[in-house]
Each structure stands twice: as C-alpha cells, then as structure tokens.
Structure 1
C-alpha cells in the first residue's frame, strides 16, 4: 500500500528511523528510502506470492521480498531484501518518486508480466529473476535466471546491513560502459573486474550504460565490485542496508538513459559562459603578486584565458593549524580584495582551492567542533587538521558560511574542492588503502562509513551548491576530485586527480573521461600535461615532454572544461613562445579553435541543462548499430557534429617502448626451482624479516589482483622492503639490456656487482644496463626494493638482442600518420581540408604537430565565433555558420546573460537553424525570447561545404527576423 508522507509522518512521527520502526511494529516492511511503506506477506508464507501496488508490484519468494516500482515510463526501481530495510535516512542520490504509470499484469503458471505502454517486465516465478523488454518485445537485459541476487545479513560497525550482489546476463557482443574513471585504458567494461572505491585518481559513479539502449543505477554507497564473467555481470556491495537496490532505465538509446538518470537524480544547471574558456592552474602560485603577474602576462601575450586558479596554502602553511580555514595568509596574500579586483579588471575569473580537512586553529574548526562535526583522525599533510562531517546538514551550513565570508564575499568566482574522495591519512591512489582510510573516520551524521564509503563528495558539493543558490544569483561552478551519482545537480565538475605525465596516462584520459560522461555526469576535466612530470627530465625544457604537452592540450580543446594544471614544472602556454616556437604555434592554434567553437559549445551546454544532453560522447552513444565502435578507446564525439581522435603517441621525440618482463622460463631460484626467491621485511631498510616467497617472475603491482592482502606476512603495504635472489638463464648470444622498473626505490646486482640503482621515492620509472652474454650462461642476480607510500610496483625486465635490433630499426622511422575509424551510416568531412569521405572505413592521414584527426559529420551545422581573449569579450561577435551538406541538419543557437540563473525564469533567447538538403536552403528561425543586454543584431556568414565544390558563402545581418538563405544546387 502507499500512504502520503504527511499522513505517514502524522501516524508515526517525523523521523524516518521512527517511521521505519513503527512500520515494522504494524507488520509492514521498513520505510523505503523515498517514504513509501509496503505491506509484506505473512511471515510463514511460502512459494511465490505477489500483490499489486499503485506504482508496481511486490512479490515474495524463498524468503526474499522484491519490489518493482515505476519511476517513469521506462524507469523502474528494483529492491530486494530479507523482509527488513535497515536504512535510517532517505536516499541521498534519488530525487524522483514513484510514478502512476498505467500497467497491466498478466499472471501465468511460470511468469508474472508487468506491461506498460513503453516497458515490459517479466518475473520468473521459480527464481524471481526479472527480464526487461521494450514495448515491441525486444529484450533489453535479464537478471541471471539461476540466482538473480544474493543477500546476506551482516553487522558492520555495530549497524545491521546486508552484503549483496546481483547479476545480469548480457548478450554476446553487447557493450557496457560507465562506472566512472577507474584508471582503465579500455572504454568497454566487458570482461573487466573493477573495484569501486573512490581514490585520488578514481572517480566512482555506480551507473552502467549498455549499447542495447538501457542503463542501471545502483543506489548503494559502500565498497562495490563489478565483474563481467561468462556466467554474468555482477555487482557486489559490502554494505547495502536496503538490500539490492537499483534503477533500470530503458528507452532504447544512451541519451534517453541519461535523461532518465537525470530525472531521477537531478538536472545539470548552466555554468557561466567563461567556464568554457581556458583554465590556468598550477601547484601553486606562491603569492598574490605572482598570481596577478601570470594573469597579466596571459593578457599581454594575447593568449586567451578565462579562469586563473589559486591552489592550496594561500591560507598559510601545511605545518600550522590554518589549513583550509577560508582565510588568507597576511604576508603572501595581504590584500585578497585588491588582488581579485585586478584579476576581474583583466576580465578573468578566480577559482580557489578548498579542502574538507580544516585546520585546528581556525574559526571554522572551532565552530564545527562546538557541534562535534569534525572526525578524530588527522589529515596526512597537516597534523593539525581534521575532516568535517559533510553528512551533517549543520556541518554543511557552517562550512559554507565560512566559505562565503572568507572567499566568495571577497569576489572569488568558483570553488575547487580538493581531496573529496575523502582523503584522510594519505594522498593515496590505492583503493584498498583509501577504503581503510575512509572507514577510519568511523560514524558520520547519517551512519557508519562502511555503508557511506563513496559519496562524501556528493554531500560536500551539495552543501556548497545549496549555500550559493540560497545567497545569490551567480551561477555555481565547482571542481571536485571525486564524483558520485547525482553530482551533476550540484554544478560539480570532476577531474581525474593527480595523474602522471606519460603517453599511456594521456590515452587513459580519453576512455576514462568518456566513462564518466556516459553515466550522466556531463562535466569532466583533467590535468592537461599530467600533474606529476617525473619521467621527463627537465620538464618543460625536455622536447619529448613539450610534444606530449602539445598533443594533450589539443585533446583538452574537446573536454567539457579545458584546464591546465600540474606541479613542479612551468607550463603556462606563453612560455613556449621562445622556448619552442613550433610547440607554441600548435598550442595557440588549439586554444583559438576552442574559442572559435564557443557558440557551438555554449549552445550545447543549454541542451545539457534543458534536454539532458551530453557534450563529450563515447562513439556507441551515437552509433550503437555499428559494433566496430564498441571497443574504440581513443576517438569520441564532441556534440553531434565533431568526431575527434587525439594523437596519443610520440611522433617527433620517440621514447623507447617498455622493456619486456623477464619470463619465468628464464629465471631460477638459488636451489634450481623456476623463479626467484624473495624475502619481505617490515621497514624501508630491511629492518624486520617477514615471510619468504618464490615468484616465478618479478612483476608486482601491490596489491593488484589476484592479491587481496599484503604479501609475505606484512602488516600493511607502506614502509616495507624486499629482496629477491636467483639466476637468469640466458636464451641467446649477444648484447642484452637488464633493468628494473619500480616505485619507489630499487637496486639490481648482477654477479655480485651493483649494476642499476635508483634508491629514492618516486613514480614508476625504468633504468637498465647493457652487457654481452652467452646462451646458456647463468647470471646471478639480486634485486632490492623499498616502498614508502602511495603507488607501489616492481618489475624485472630485459631487452634481448632481437629486441635491441628492432629498437634500433624503429628509431630510424618517423611515422606522422594516424588511423581513424569513421562510423558507418554517415559521410564525414575532414575539418582541415574539407574533403568528404564515406563512413564505415579506417582513414590514414598525416598529423604534423598542429594537426590531429578531426572530422565533421555530414548533415551538421557548426556555428563558429571569432578568436577572442576571453569568452564574453564580444557579446555581438560575428558568427561563421558552417553547413556540412549531405543530409538534413538542425542546430539551435542559444544566448543568455552568461552569468546568472535568470535563464530559469525565461531570460534567454534561441534561434533555430535548419538545413534542407533537398532545397539547399538554410532556414534561420525568428529569435525566441530575450534578456537584458542582448545583442539586437549579429553579422552571420554562412558557409556551405559539400566536399565537391568550393565552399559557397552568404552573409546576413540577423536582427531576430526569420530568413531563408538559399544556395545553388
């Protein structure tokens, strides 16, 4: 049955916990997370029993109570538990409520069918497994027939809950996408095993989207694992107080799935227009003088910029108690008001870093502590700072009050919320450590951190968003190092954390970012150029790094937000003007392209808000009927028109491929067994001997699969050391290269002599030595390693004589070409040349440093603006409107005041552009709507590109009246 919230509150009292208790006392199920009470069968019921509800069906089978509720025409919630719901608070993700969707029930001997106009759900009476079908009977997916779910009661941190898993049977060839940025280089999640725990470089969003046109959102917040195996795709959760709880979203396309997701969890509000220009960020600008100096240099050099970012410690030191107190250091930032005025006078905006860890000596900490709203564990970087409780409404209110007084009221334009996964005792990339780190916080205002492990980021960005909306009309823009389902409604853009500069990491940003945006979180970015630059000695002075930076910068053009950030080296783009003019020219071309695309980008940002659109798009979103795109990791759509393939390999400054891991067949322990004999020690200098091991090959990434715990009897995975000994049996005559790749310190001894040493903290890097060996020779080796904190890996590798010969030959070849697959079902235009080619084929083109594969889909309208220094520089700027012929096309131009939420009240205007391929006519619609300060007239230059003839052009001064622009056939 269903009763209203008001009636239920009157019956049982206002608290959800009390309501749940009263429901149990009356023989009802626990209150679910959206305030609905559902009657259970009698406790002694057996076999399949069901009852119809106003919004769905509940059934009982083998001790499991399972409920199916409509939340929209093609959206249903599925909940399964053992008769009790242990949630004590409503969902923090779901805003939607069950809907009264007309449906029929068909009851047969083997199945119960729930049929609406748009969706059909079949329930297997033997197992309780659900099958989801479209209105025309096409199967979307089904729960695993033999065991759709497993539910086990558990008590964790003194709270009752369930450990659960549920499984789906996927179709052969089906593509699965989503779950966020989980540091995987592959877009398609088929066959993957993902540990879903927030980390420094792990953005977890529990949403998957299928090439079959459906999606699943799990409303569970604990540690989870997703695995796809032969017997099905399974999601396991450590603590799910409500049992299995997911939302099936049908509709037949990825865009409809995302629309359903945002209907459930909240729409994405508009960003200020300048958010779509360039962000310049660095760890860190030490003084206000330096910050202003950099901003002024951008303007003086004519390199476009919209936001400059102040990273941490503007408040003081990491050693005192001032950490993230929303205050300014009086020596280094003596006049923040004046500094911000100077930045604003340059038509720039200021974004500033804040943390959830609060210094003990700040007014913010003292107010939080007066309510008991900071957790006990100390933050790793400052032993005088602790995390605030963002799960508390009072905690969020106090936190925002100090942000407003100390930062926003001084003119700060946007917040950069760092460490929101949430980082506590270590700035760690390892999910196992982060899990323990977060759980050490204990219990928050909503419950234990085992059940609330992952969504801290949502709660803290919700608080700052709500605070800004309640106190002003300026659009909110937040950058956060983590994300969760629902983050889009808080105006939060996630970024991929403190990544390392390498071509491999760069490539991972593409597939990783796409697996964020396909979940329904449309805004994502990353540290262009990599945060850490450790494998390129000299940083910006290294030509190999400059090439990487130029290519990475080109990719950033097509990120929802374009942002440069990193530590240690200089990377303000203007420095390359004299350092490397060729790279500078490529950077300038790229940023000019971004600013020219602003009419296209900003108009599509309106579609994100008004129609749940997604700007950065995995190819299966637009081409689900072309299976050849399902596994393409490096190519994507940017809006409906643009297909982009960033160049993700060196062409001019080639780096050697990694040396190969020495195989088990070439290794022997001292007593003649395959492999190497190892010994682990507690401490970084072999202090306390622990367990002995035999490794058939030395290739460790601790604690990677299948290793689930610390090796060799260690108590943990920080501050340990290890030593391996044995022999390498040489397979052929000639010159070899033997080496180690590791993080942190390592040494390699060959025949008793130190041959390789890099005994220092650092990211994974390789060092080797060459020597001439004879086939059958037994070379004695000893490897020593120590691990401090953070990433941990060690690999014993070689280059054989054949490898070295092949390497020498490869260095003679310069390959400037890229191979791009263009999806079938459309023609495509090369953006640079205007040449038209057919889809369904792979093209090869030259890509010198200022060019990358960039194609426009036929039947596209692409509005371009002029090059500007900042996004709002020319409100009445002339537009070039390109029509790429071959099919009918449509695009809606959008304008508003760029800054406020008045668009929510109708203060905006649109202009519909429609191209008729048959009549060769572009219809420019009448202007709809308006807003104060709107440009009344705009010069438009129309360019028709058909791939066969020279471009045709027409010009028109648009004054808001409808007009038809005709071209010759």
Structure 2
C-alpha cells in the first residue's frame, strides 16, 4: 500500500553528492549512509544507513520508491555517526569506527566486516514478487545471507518444537496460541539481524510445507496411490467405521476438517494411516506433524514422537528423515482424537542443498521494501543491547512482579479469590500476586468490563482486601467485544471494529455461542478508546496489572491463516496480510501509553499471550500460552523460553504445570498412579518455574494452589514451598537482574551460548540455561527420573548449590535429582546475594544481605535497588553497590554506593560467605559468615 506521501523516489533522498563512473551504478551519499542504484540487481535502489557506528539499517526497493511509513518496531535513534565512503573496484566501502560495510554497486548486495576488515557475514541474494491485496500493492520479498557454517543461531521468538539452535533449521513466523514469532536472529559470531516486516514470514526454507502426496504413496496392502486410512469408531475395539486410501493427511483447521468421513464419531475414536512413502530424490526431508489428541508416528518401525494436545489447541512436532530416491519407507501415524472433532496434519519439505539450508534467510508475504537492521557487538549481550537501541529499552518491572503469582482458570467468585489468597497467608506461603482470569463479567457481556454482581458484588472492595493482605491483583482483559455491548458499539461507530466475524455470524465457545469481534489496535484512536474503557471500568477500581489474553489476535481459534487474515482486515494501516504479526505490539502500546498518561508514578505491568519485536518497551511480559500438561510440553518450554529471551525480550513466563489438562489427571483419585504423576509433574515444573523471569502458576482444573496439589508434608508440597521460599530469599539477586535489564540491557534467562560462546558443546543444549550470571539451572522433565545428565561448560568450574561440591568445567556429569530437588550449579567465579526470609517483596528491607562468593576467579556483581514501583529510576534515582571478589587476594570489596533514591537504607549489614573447593557451602545453610556494617563507603572483607 503506497500513498502519494510514501512514493518518495530514492534519488530524492537527502543527498550531498552523486557520482558515476563508466558503467558503474549511481550512488548518493546521505547524512547517514548512501543510496545505490544497482545495474543488474533485483532491487532498483538500495539504501544503507548507519544508525550507530555498529548498527546498520538496510533497505531495498524493487521499484526505486521508498516506503516512508514509520516502522512499528523501531524507535528514533539520535546519533550522528561519522563515516567515510570509498569506491573500490565496483564496490562502495562505508567505514565507521566499528564497521566496514561493502556494497556491490552492480548487485546492491551488502557485506559486513569489523573495523579491522575481518569478515562477519554477507548478503547472498534477494528477491521481490509483486502482490496486490484488497486493492493495495506491495511485494512478497526475501533476503538470504551467507554466514559462518559453525555458528549457533538463536531467537525467532517462542516456538513449541523443542528446537534450540536454529542454524540449518526452518521456522514459520506467525502468531498463534503458544507460538510467538519475533523476526530477530542472533549469532554466536556476535551479530544480529532484525527483519523489519509484520507479515507471515518464513525463516530458512521459503517454501511452505507440502502435503505428503509429493511422495509416491502405498497403502498397507501395497497398492499405490495413498496410505491406508482406517477409522475405528471405538478406540478400544477393532470395529472399523470406514477404511479408505488417502493421499493427504490434511485436517489442520476448521475448513479442512470438513474432509473427514461424514458422520464419523470422534468422541471415542482412533484413526491410523499406514503404508509406505517413496521419494523421487535423495536427501533430508523435513517433516512437520500438526496434532491435537494423542499422536504417535513411526518411520521404518522407529517411533519419531508420541505427544498429546487438547483437541482445541494443536501443536507441532518436527522430525527429519534422510531418504534415498526410489526406496520405500514404512510409515504409520496413529491418532486418537481427544474428544470431539480434532486436528491432524502431516506435511514435508523436500531437500535443499546443505550449503543453502545453512544460510540465514527471511521470506515475507507482504511489505513495501526490504528493511532490516544489522548489528554487531562485542558479545551476545552487546548484540541484544543494540537490538534494544533499535526497538526500545525494557523497563524495570515492579518489584512485586518478581514475586510469586497464583492463578487458576478461574476464580469464579470474589470469595474464591480472596479465600485462596487468605489460605496462602495463613499457611505462610510467600505470594505477591493473585489473578482474576476471564468471565468475571455477565455471561452475555464480554467486553463490557462490567462484573457479574451475583459472583462479584463488590469488585472494588475485593481489590481493597487483596491490597490489605499485602498482595497485588491482575485482571484479564481481552480485545474482544460481544456485538450487543456498548463498548462494541463505540468502536463500531468510529470504524474501529473488525466486522467480518459479525458479518459471518462467527460464534464463540461460550454456550450457546455469542457473536462478537476484536477492535483494530492499529488505530491510534481505537487504542485510546480501549484504554478509556479499561480505565473507567477497571483501573479506577484499583487493579494493578493487565492480562492481555488472545492478543494474536485469536478472533476464531483453529481458523486457517487465510480466514484469520480475513477476520482482521482491513487494519488502519493496511491489509492484515501486511500487518498480520504485530497486533500484540499495538495492543500493548495502547495500554502502556494510556496508563502512563494518567499515572506516571506507577509502573505498567502487562502480561500478553502474543508479542513482537519492540514490545519490551511497553512494560510487557509474554507467556507461552495454553500449553499442555505433559512432560514433553514442559521440556519444550525450556528452549522456548531461552530463545524468546535471546530474541531481545527479557521478560517471559509460562503456566507452571501446563494449562490444558489430560482427562486422566482431572479424574485422578488418591493413591492412583495418575495422581502420583500429576503431583510429580507439577513439582518438577514448579522447580523450573521458580527460575524464569516471572514465577507464575496457572491452569485448568485440578486447582493449582500448592495445598490443592498435595497436602502439607507431602514431598510435592514441601518441594514447591522450598523453591518458593528460595526465590524470595534470592530477591536481591533477582531484582538486581531486573534492574540490569534497563541499566545494562541485560537478559535474565540465558542460553548457555551467551556466557560460554567459545565452548561449541553448548550450542545445541536447550534443556539447561543460566539464570543471571551465577546460576545454571537444569530442570528435570521425565517422570520418576532421579538423576539427569548435565553438561558443565568450560570455565573455572562449578559448584552444586545444595552441597557445595566442586566440579571441573568442560564435562558431562550425571547429577542427582531427588524428587524434591532440581540440579542447579553456581559458576566458579560468581556471586549470589540473599535477603532475609519474607512472604511478600515489601515485607521488610533487604537487610541483612548475605553475599555468597563462589571462588575460582575474579568476579564482580552490581547490587541494584530502587523504589520498586515507580519510574524514578528513569531519572537516575536508583543505587548500585559493586561487589568485587579478588581471587588472588581472597578479598571481597563492597564498593562505594553509587546513586540514591527516596527510602534507601543508609546503613546496612552484609554477611559474606566464600565457597571454594576446600570449603564447601550450601545455600541451605548461610550461618557461617563474616559480617560487616556498611554506610555507603567502600569496605573490604578479607578471607
């Protein structure tokens, strides 16, 4: 879509001079870079600009015209970069203090090197294909890059296929419940690429997965033409409803499920597809199975996976098969729908050349120009800092948000909610936050933001009681409105409501089904109205935080992508095809700016089910959606959370225990194996969940409060209580990490490659991570496992935090993992800071603070503190106390306090413990310390 304003010719850029030599392309030097007109490239114009000395913005235009629409992702950067331009053998070389950027004048391709001329990576090719959607023109576009073969690649958001290192892998970038797509990739070679496009995008192979009819198919009887599909109407018997040959397994959405045999009863059924597949070329075929229900798949008798998802919320499994042309491979897919019509699909990608598969590539369905940012750093943390220079800083989250969050689907009355919080307080289980999930409104009034007075007779009084119990409360707010509500009508009369769902009479899942739709968050006026409605009905009652559910937007679950786009178009900015992925960003923007406009002294807190590049600047945390209560789902959250954090967004969380529950757990009885497994699953997940940025429990029945999972004294109860209390004792450490996200652009949840980049053994490890600079977390994700393999990265060594036992780095060990404990190690040469035992974050000041030094090499740690709830830290009102350990001198220096804020402790006590090879120490016993009084001036503690 291009307006007159946007059709700005490249030659009208802010030019200082132009030159031309022989057949070489024209170029213009601008204030921050150059514009090149390639002679034989796919782009007519390429614009390369320095944002900072080590960040480069690249734009490529297919028609020589520039899109002047402001980026939704990027923020203005005021930095005058000094650079030089030279012509060398048909190339332009742009040099800043940090980078050397070479542009081929013939093709317009760009290559990057450091200031010393050491190559980093380079463009390989780009392409454009004209596209018209809803009368608006644009391009389907792609950009490929050559990059080091042995690098690790991370980011792309949060996906559920249990993949860690994206080098040589493919990922489709679109928003979906449990899937959050961020078009950013970061390399162990210390560079990143931010792809500034909002449409459906593919990373890696630009082709969509294709149906299995790309193979020669043979049934179980050897007949060519399809696999044998057998529909059993009773999964516990051999009674066949129908058997037929099928050349596709494509039942992935509300449209394609219509292809199932008519009148087949899904409620207690089983379907198998079996036979053989034969490829007409050799190489690695990459398969994707889209599944809900219980799903198993075998190739040549080898089980590729066994997974479950609830019927209404499918997920994906990926696997590869190295096939030889002309050979037959046995295949069997067994599927048990989990009640009612469900979803299943099996597709594949044919091989590409290995060197092509290892390239970095982005392909987007619609945009005006190719636009991306290349950023280079000293290390991976520095790359993320550059990312936030482009997309905006993350705020310091309120201190109370770093405490424990209790939620369930759902507290149906205010008495249930208050009763749960009261129970926590009576049991002395630490808690800071409780959540009011959806459907507190009258049944027919979704979007009214009103309360059902029979169940919530005094919402403001309920909130007051929560606050009196020293807790905060978050409320669920959807961008969804039933058509008969006044709020819907306010949007509609301004043209700010997506109307297709109403026109098509799309009903939601609330019996007997109600018609409504979502507002257009891309419109500034609509965002302002959305906030006004929330302010008037909810904020004035005293709610502390916003839960922005279904922010993909999920107007109709399980619709095809084409119909999803139809349901959310046109947006205020253009066709939904072009703006498909950025809804959550716009939605969060409205809440953040709205709240700060009326109260700039209270930090905004938003929990959102979807996200996009830049959402960190709007006080947003993303959670991993309605995941399943399965061990494999727990495991996949580890790599999902790490990659989300390595996408530049520091705040992530999950539904501890999983959201969607297998029926066997719903009906589990005392003493049953199912109840034993349920308790152990929640215990292991709780252990893991205590060490992600936000510590939060949520899910469907059975109820998720600790005391409802297991009785006091049970190992599950005791373990969950232990990790809850440990989280609170570590609050000085955790809140310092929170402060660093602003002051240092820090990442709390860290892939091992961030801290041990030179150790290539860590590149593919997706089930361990660093939580801050000191702790390595190794969750247990197998039922009845009492040990697990842990890799200890190459370093000065590692300490078991429970025993103090020392281990050399650079080795695999089998770590003990008793029911009540998760393996966790402190890095030799690190510091942990502990505060007093508390039951909520504001109960008492963090005094005394116990500093545990894990000896082995020199280390520093900045203890960050501020007022905890306001934005005064943006004005510099916070403190840092540098803790510095000298290995040679065996001395901890507590440095001068830097900065100040209202209410800070002028005098305080530090207790110092040193753990070494010869002097083990446990986090469970912090009694053997040296104590020092501190008045803000530097002091030393010698050992």
User: The TM-score by the shorter chain falls in which range?
Assistant: 0.7 to 0.9
Name the CA distance, whole Å, in 1 between partners of 2:564 and 2:16.
40
Distance 1:919 1:343, change over 3 A: same
- Displacement after TM superposition at 1:86 (Å): 6.6
Name the CA distance, whole Å, in 1 between partners of 2:789 and 2:896.
42
Give the equivalent residue in structure 2 for 1:12.
none
Does residue 839 (structure 1) correspond to residue 825 (structure 2)? The answer is no
- Displacement after TM superposition at 1:629 (Å): 0.4
Task: Report Cα offsets for 1:763-805 as digits up to 9, x if no partner.
Answer: xxxxxxxxxxxxxxxxxxxxxxxxxxxxxxxxxxxxxxxxxxx
Give the equivalent residue in structure 2 for 1:150.
127
Distance 1:455 1:519, change over 3 A: same
- Determine if contact 2:835/2:846 at 8 Å carries over to the other structure: no
Give the equivalent residue in structure 2 for 1:295.
421
- Displacement after TM superposition at 1:920 (Å): 1.2
- Determine if contact 1:423/1:438 at 8 Å carries over to the other structure: no
- Determine if contact 2:158/2:641 at 8 Å carries over to the other structure: yes
Name the CA distance, whole Å, in 1 between partners of 2:20 and 2:737.
54
- Determine if contact 1:28/1:39 at 8 Å carries over to the other structure: no
- Determine if contact 1:540/1:570 at 8 Å carries over to the other structure: no
Please say which of residues 380-389 and 514-523 is displaced more in the overlay.
380-389
Match of 2:118 among 133, 138, 144: 138
- Determine if contact 1:89/1:446 at 8 Å carries over to the other structure: no
- Displacement after TM superposition at 1:476 (Å): 0.6
- Displacement after TM superposition at 1:950 (Å): 5.3
Does residue 175 (structure 1) correspond to residue 152 (structure 2)? The answer is yes
Name the CA distance, whole Å, in 2 between partners of 1:510 and 1:340.
34
Give the equivalent residue in structure 1 for 2:597.
470
Match of 2:355 among 218, 222, 230: 230
Give the equivalent residue in structure 2 for 1:506.
634
- Determine if contact 2:867/2:901 at 8 Å carries over to the other structure: yes
Does residue 416 (structure 1) correspond to residue 547 (structure 2)? The answer is yes
Name the CA distance, whole Å, in 1 between partners of 2:817 and 2:732.
26
Give the equivalent residue in structure 1 for 2:341.
none
Give the equivalent residue in structure 2 for 1:958.
934
Give the equivalent residue in structure 2 for 1:310.
436
Task: Report Cα offsets for 1:891-928 as digits up to 9, x if no partner.
Answer: 11122221111222232222111111111111112223
Does residue 159 (structure 1) correspond to residue 136 (structure 2)? The answer is yes
Please say which of residues 900-909 and 96-105 is displaced more in the overlay.
96-105
- Indicate the RMSD between aligned Cα atoms, in angstroms: 2.3
- Listed as ranges, the matches of 1:523-538 within 5 Å are 523-534=651-662, 536-538=664-666
SS of the counterpart of 2:498? Answer: strand
Name the CA distance, whole Å, in 2 between partners of 1:42 and 1:372.
49
Give the equivalent residue in structure 2 for 1:364.
487
Match of 1:397 among 510, 517, 528: 528
Does residue 19 (structure 1) correspond to residue 150 (structure 2)? The answer is no
- Comparing both chains, which one has the higher relative contact order based on Cα–Cα distances under 8 Å and sequence gaps of 6 or more? 2
Name the CA distance, whole Å, in 2 between partners of 1:421 and 1:86.
29
Task: Report Cα offsets for 1:18-38 as digits up to 9, x if no partner.
Answer: 5335x45xx846xxxxxx667
Does residue 215 (structure 1) correspond to residue 204 (structure 2)? The answer is no
Name the CA distance, whole Å, in 1 between partners of 2:702 and 2:817.
27
SS of the counterpart of 1:215? Answer: strand
- Displacement after TM superposition at 1:851 (Å): 1.6
Match of 1:567 among 692, 700, 705: 700
- Determine if contact 1:817/1:847 at 8 Å carries over to the other structure: yes
Provide runs of 4+ in structure 1 moved above 6 Å.
Answer: 38-46
- Displacement after TM superposition at 1:352 (Å): 0.5
SS of the counterpart of 1:552? Answer: helix
Task: Report Cα offsets for 1:552-608 as digits up to 9, x if no partner.
Answer: 101101110011111121110122452771111111111111111110010111110
- Displacement after TM superposition at 1:181 (Å): 0.8
Distance 1:501 1:891, change over 3 A: same
Give the equivalent residue in structure 1 for 2:870.
900
Name the CA distance, whole Å, in 2 between partners of 1:406 and 1:38.
52
Distance 1:326 1:888, change over 3 A: same
Task: Report Cα offsets for 1:219-270 as digits up to 9, x if no partner.
Answer: 10001101165222221001011x2110001113211111111111110111
SS of the counterpart of 2:883? Answer: strand
Name the CA distance, whole Å, in 2 between partners of 1:536 and 1:954.
53
- Displacement after TM superposition at 1:405 (Å): 1.3
- Determine if contact 1:40/1:83 at 8 Å carries over to the other structure: no
Match of 2:73 among 70, 93, 107: 93
Task: Report Cα offsets for 1:701-744 as digits up to 9, x if no partner.
Answer: xxxxxxxxxxxxxxxxxxxxxxxxxxxxxxxxxxxxxxxxxxxx
Name the CA distance, whole Å, in 1 between partners of 2:563 and 2:35.
37
Name the CA distance, whole Å, in 1 between partners of 2:707 and 2:848.
27
Give the equivalent residue in structure 1 for 2:583.
456
- Determine if contact 1:207/1:217 at 8 Å carries over to the other structure: yes
State TM-score, norm by structure 1.
0.77
Name the CA distance, whole Å, in 1 between partners of 2:482 and 2:901.
44
- Displacement after TM superposition at 1:39 (Å): 10
Name the CA distance, whole Å, in 2 between partners of 1:167 and 1:358.
42
Give the equivalent residue in structure 1 for 2:678.
545
Name the CA distance, whole Å, in 1 between partners of 2:845 and 2:536.
32
Name the CA distance, whole Å, in 1 between partners of 2:751 and 2:15.
40
Name the CA distance, whole Å, in 1 between partners of 2:656 and 2:808.
33
Unaligned runs of 5+ in 1: 1-14, 30-35, 652-814
Give the equivalent residue in structure 1 for 2:849.
879
State TM-score, norm by structure 2.
0.79
Give the equivalent residue in structure 2 for 1:198.
175
Give the equivalent residue in structure 2 for 1:324.
447
Task: Report Cα offsets for 1:874-903 as digits up to 9, x if no partner.
Answer: 124322110111111111112222111122
- Determine if contact 1:820/1:843 at 8 Å carries over to the other structure: yes
Name the CA distance, whole Å, in 2 between partners of 1:875 and 1:98.
39
Task: Report Cα offsets for 1:79-106 as digits up to 9, x if no partner.
Answer: 1112344746311111134743222223
Match of 2:609 among 444, 469, 481: 481
Unaligned runs of 5+ in 2: 206-353, 670-674, 922-927
Give the equivalent residue in structure 2 for 1:730.
none
- Determine if contact 1:422/1:438 at 8 Å carries over to the other structure: no
Alignment: residue pair count: 770
Name the CA distance, whole Å, in 1 between partners of 2:832 and 2:109.
47
Give the equivalent residue in structure 1 for 2:741.
608
Name the CA distance, whole Å, in 1 between partners of 2:18 and 2:492.
47
Name the CA distance, whole Å, in 1 between partners of 2:32 and 2:580.
31
Distance 1:536 1:435, change over 3 A: farther
Match of 1:936 among 890, 906, 914: 906
Give the equivalent residue in structure 2 for 1:765.
none
Does residue 278 (structure 1) correspond to residue 418 (structure 2)? The answer is no
Distance 1:636 1:124, change over 3 A: same
Match of 1:621 among 726, 741, 754: 754
Distance 1:121 1:540, change over 3 A: farther
Name the CA distance, whole Å, in 2 between partners of 1:459 and 1:537.
38
Does residue 557 (structure 1) correspond to residue 664 (structure 2)? The answer is no
Task: Report Cα offsets for 1:271-298 as digits up to 9, x if no partner.
Answer: 1101001111111110011110111011
- Displacement after TM superposition at 1:115 (Å): 1.7
Name the CA distance, whole Å, in 1 between partners of 2:78 and 2:185.
21
- Displacement after TM superposition at 1:857 (Å): 0.9
- Listed as ranges, the matches of 1:540-939 within 5 Å are 541=669, 542-578=675-711, 581-651=714-784, 816-939=786-909
Does residue 490 (structure 1) correspond to residue 618 (structure 2)? The answer is yes
